[in-house]
Chains A and B, each alone.
Chain A
Amino acid sequence: DVKVTQSSRYLVKRTGEKVFLECVQDMDHENMFWYRQDPGLGLRLIYFSYDVKMKEKGDIPEGYSVSREKKERFSLILESASTNQTSMYLCASSLWGQGKQPQHFGDGTRLSIL
């Protein structure tokens, strides 16, 4: 069974802090994703990666960056946290391929920026 683990379930940070959200998957998946979920907006893609050190912007990358130094780990970085980045953050992974591979999600990190 695929396991996607996000390091924190709840996190409280201050405005202007640099924040790291960590995600690890154990199924050797090539693709990894970061989303945020907000009421009335569904899930929106921030960044994704299809290989080590490779990354692509999603639909809402502003204010975020990512790091993928190892295949199993994908980090989301808030360079200077702001209150509008208070949200639920979800990490996902999937197999690479032209085939239709569903994404497997972690349980999320609820981040509050004060």
Chain B
Amino acid sequence: DQQVKQNSPSLSVQEGRISILNCDYTNSMFDYFLWYKKYPAEGPTFLISISSIKDKNEDGRFTVFLNKSAKHLSLHIVPSQPGDSAVYFCAASVHRIQGAQKLVFGQGTRLTINP
């Protein structure tokens, strides 16, 4: 049962335009969401996160939106640059009182920025 879903395996966007990557989740207990970016032959790197008490978080060209009622989050990249070409994973977790925070990942979306 895939609790976090990225339904678009790939996305192609023109350089300078907006890239929108989408993610849906089913577990209403998730309270923290993250986006990771992965280049080939490298490990994923943390990009941006959002807590369930917010509906928007912005960091430079990257903005994450959270719609809790729809159980949906999205990552907006504006403007898109060639270096943004990578695989993007969304992830979600449930708050734990102690111990490590388990992340549940989506399948990933391959973003290609065309010059």
Binding site for B on A (CB under 8 A): 4, 30-31, 33, 35, 40-45, 48-50, 56, 58-59, 90, 92, 94, 96, 98, 100-108
Contacts and interface: CB of A to CB of B under 8 A. Distances in A.
Given A42-B105, A42-B106, A102-B34, A108 B43 contact: yes
Contact of B100 (A4, A48, A100): A48
A9 B106 CA distance: 24
B101 interface: yes
Interface stretch (B14-22, B45-53, B60-68): B45-53
Contacts of A101: 101
A45 B102 contact: yes
A100 B57 CA distance: 14
Given A41-B107, A43-B44, A105-B43, A48 B102 contact: yes
28 contacts: A30-B100, A33-B100, A35-B105, A41-B107, A42-B89, A43-B105, A44-B105, A48-B100, A48-B102, A50-B98, A50-B99, A56-B100, A58-B102, A59-B104, A90-B44, A98-B95, A98-B96, A98-B97, A100-B32, A100-B101, A102-B34, A103-B46, A103-B103, A105-B36, A105-B45, A106-B43, A108-B42, A108-B43
Contact of A40 (B49, B97, B104, B107): B107
Interface of B: 4, 6, 9, 32, 34, 36, 41-46, 49, 51, 89, 91, 95-108
B100 A107 contact: no
Contacts of A59: 104
A52 to B, nearest CB: 13
Nearest to A38: B107
Contact of B108 (A42, A94, A104): A42
A49 B49 CA distance: 23
Contacts of B98: 50, 98
Q: Count chain A CB atoms within 10 A of each CB in B43, B102, B103, B106 and give the residue with the most.
A: B43
